[in-house]
Amino acid sequence: MLILETGRDDLLKPLQAVTGIVERKHTLPILSNILLQSENGQVQLLATDLEIQIHTLGAQGAQPDFRITTNAKKLQDILRALPDSSTVQLDLADHKLTLKAGKSRFNLQTLPAQDFPTMNVDENTSAAFALPQETLKHMISQVQHSMAVQDIRFYLNGLLMQTEGNQLRLVATDGHRLAFTSATLETELPKHDVILPRKTVLELNKLLTQPKENVVVELLDNQIRFRCNDTVIVSKVIDGRFPDYNRVIPMDNKNIFVIDRLSLLGALERSSILANEKFRGVRLLVQPGSLHITCTNNEQEEASEELDIAYQGESLDVGFNITFLLDLLRNVHSDEVQLAFGSADRATLFTVPNRPEFKYVVMPMRI
């Protein structure tokens, strides 16, 4: 029975929007599948891992209405491998989904749609707001690299989203560095703190593809919902208390200079070639008029760079994880960055001139 005939991209694009959360191997085999269904000719796609759920609209013209599940990755890989201009037919018979395109034919197993588990979405909205997708995407790109990865302090394996008044703040930290950014909303909101799981942040960032269109954010009880384009993401939030980031940001560092971002990035990228592969250390020697950058490794190799800076403060010799500095400079799109040092054993504050909404704090390391 023919259930759908459509262009390859009309099925592939919405499929790519939802399959990022699908695990190839799951304790529940059906969670490796995607739910395909149609109502009144409109195809809908849904994927979940029971922590996050993504629902989007797909092709039009499905006849008759149907509900099936099939392996998400296999379907995506087949569609990717077909020529761009292919017309795709989906047939359903005897619990098998047959995909035809030209003279190509693929038979895929299905599992009963009634067995597909979905998240229970709480409809009690405690706060809701909208902002341009490009604003949220820019904010996420500035902080997401500072999220922890598989830290036993589970509340660090995500991103703090805080609303207060007309301010939206995003904060991420792995205990060694902290990134903070904020934006002004058109809505006045009570103070809310939610911690978004790492996977949710990464998937949301991929879906913010229409810069001028709004994304609607709804805070629910123990969940958060994002609506953008034709896609809805619902995610659980991390139950924990995020550290007080205000106590971490040093506002009294007196040794300050501004430097060209690309010049510093280039010097650090070249130096990183000879950095210790395990510890990734870099030494910054700050002196009146110059910044000296040094990396060494276990083979007694050394990289050295020197940059001219407008600085007349005290001399400082500070060690950092070079990856933390590269993450900052690659994701903050500005002409210049400002470095504010306290002492060699205190956190350094990186900011962008005339952009007080962004702050990046890095703890020093012994080298």
Where residue 94 sits, what CATH number does that domain have? 3.10.150.10
HSE value, Cβ hemisphere, 13 Å, CA-based, for 298: 5
Are residue 211 and residue 272 in the same domain, yes or no? no
Residue 110 has pLDDT above 90, yes or no: yes
Does 121 reside within a domain?
Answer: no
Q: Is residue 285 part of a domain?
A: yes
Q: Look at residue 74 and give its three-state secondary structure.
A: helix
- What is the C-alpha separation between 55 and 308, in angstroms, rounded? 52
Alpha carbons 60 and 73: distance in angstroms, whole number? 22
The last residue of a domain, from among 81, 115, 149 = 115
Same domain for 153 and 46, yes or no, is no
Q: What is the DSSP letter of 24?
A: S
Q: How many domains does the chain have?
A: 3
Q: How confident is the model at residue 59 (pLDDT cuts 50, 70, 90)?
A: confident
Residue 315's domain spans which residues?
255-362
Render pLDDT for 257-314 as a digit per residue (tens, 0 to 9).
999 999 999 999 999 999 999 999 999 999 999 999 999 999 999 999 999 999 999 9
Give the CA-trace dihedral at 86, 92, 98, 102, to 10 degrees: -30
Distance of CA 172 to the CA centre of its chain: 11
pLDDT bucket at 95, cuts 50 / 70 / 90: confident
Indicate if the pLDDT at residue 61 is higher than 90.
Answer: no
Strand partners, 12: none
Q: Are 166 and 186 in contact (CB under 8 A)?
A: yes
Examine the domain organization and report whether 108 and 159 are in the same domain.
no
Domain's final residue, options 66, 84, 115 = 115
Q: Is 120 a domain residue?
A: no
143 and 98 housed in the same domain: no
* pLDDT value of residue 1: 82
State the average pLDDT over residues 83-97. Answer: 92
Per the domain annotation, does 75 fall within a domain? yes
Among the listed ranges 21-25, 181-185, 220-224, 317-321, which one has the minimum average pLDDT value? 21-25
Residue 228 shares a structural domain with residue 136: yes
Average pLDDT, the chain: 95
Asked whether residue 25 carries a pLDDT value surpassing 80, the answer given is no
Identify whether 367 is part of a domain. Answer: no
- Helix 261-272 to helix 322-331 angle, to the nearest 10 degrees? 140
- The per-residue pLDDT for 41 is 85
Looking at the fold, whether 80 and 188 belong to one and the same domain comes out as no
